């Protein structure tokens, strides 16, 4: 509905208005979006993501996150020692060009990286956040709600969450990944065929709770 700094002055801002973050966990091999969560940028949101991720894995994995401090406790709480976990911290800088529009709306330049082993024995060759960063670009490019500097942003948090749920279902099951030449769900062995949007709708119908029963309609006297 509005950025957090603008909520107080916003007209009729609903509950939940302000900054929201999309937390994602992507498999680098199959490109499957294994888990995601929409919330704030705090420790509780990180824990929700990691707890959900842990329930969806059947074996020990190597995990890389950025340097956000909330990940440390979340990964420890969800995986304990049963993970090979590293952080990749990118160092950013920008040339002093003044407060021009070009600098203001352009990403800062990455001037270096630092890899840090946190748990287990992660393979240094595979300590990377490149795949999930590319996925972040796809999310922004393919969801109008993420367009910057427009009024296309979500007005309600629930609608934002529902839109992302549909997008990730489409991405995992209905879209052929260019490099894999199959859907991520097929690459991960979750399904043996490419789904259609009709399949997604049918799945929603199966998973949705049955409508509440209503009593017989009684016509009022007039």
Residue 195 has phi, psi (to 5 degrees) of -80, 160
Please identify which residue in the block is written with the tokens 């340097």. Answer: 67
Beta strands in 66-219 (DSSP E): 84-93, 109-119
**pLDDT tens string 74-112:** 999 999 999 999 999 988 776 555 555 556 666 677 788
Q: How far apart are CA 142 and CA 34, in angstroms?
A: 19
Q: Residue 39 and residue 172: Cα distance in Å, rounded? A: 21
Higher pLDDT: 86 or 222? It is 86
Do 37 and 49 contact (CB within 8 A), yes or no? yes
Q: Is 9 exposed, middle or buried (0-12, 13-18, 19+ CB in 10 A)?
A: exposed
Q: Give residue 171's pLDDT.
A: 97
User: 19 exposed, middle or buried (CB, 10 Å; 0-12, 13-18, 19+)?
Assistant: exposed
pTM of the model: 0.83
Looking at residue 194, what is its pLDDT?
97
Q: What are phi and psi of 30, to 5 degrees?
A: -95, -10
Cβ atoms within 10 Å, residue 2: 17
Higher pLDDT, 215 or 80: 80
Averaged confidence pLDDT in the chain:
89
pLDDT at 214 over 70: no
Query: What pLDDT is attached to residue 217?
Result: 61
């Amino acid at each position: 509905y509005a950025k957090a700094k603008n909520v107080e002055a916003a007209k009729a801002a609903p509950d939940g208005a302000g900054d929201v973050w999309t937390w994602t966990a992507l498999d680098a091999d199959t490109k499957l979006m294994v888990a995601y969560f929409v919330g704030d940028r705090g420790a509780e949101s990180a824990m929700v993501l990691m707890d959900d991720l842990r329930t969806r894995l059947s074996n020990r994995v190597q995990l890389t996150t950025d340097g956000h401090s909330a990940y440390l406790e979340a990964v420890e709480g969800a995986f304990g020692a049963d993970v090979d976990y590293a952080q990749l911290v990118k160092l950013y800088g920008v040339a002093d060009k003044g407060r021009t529009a070009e600098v203001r709306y352009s990403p800062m330049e990455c001037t270096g990286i630092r890899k840090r082993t946190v748990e287990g024995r992660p393979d240094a060759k595979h300590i990377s956040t490149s795949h999930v960063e590319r996925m972040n670009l796809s999310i922004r490019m393919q969801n109008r709600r993420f367009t910057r500097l427009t009024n296309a942003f979500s007005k309600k948090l629930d609608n934002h969450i529902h839109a992302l749920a549909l997008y990730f279902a489409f991405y995992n099951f209905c879209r052929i990944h260019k490099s894999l030449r199959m859907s991520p769900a097929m690459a991960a062995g979750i399904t043996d065929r490419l789904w259609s949007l009709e399949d997604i709708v049918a799945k929603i119908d199966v998973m949705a709770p049955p409508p509440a029963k209503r009593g017989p309609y009684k016509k009022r006297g007039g």
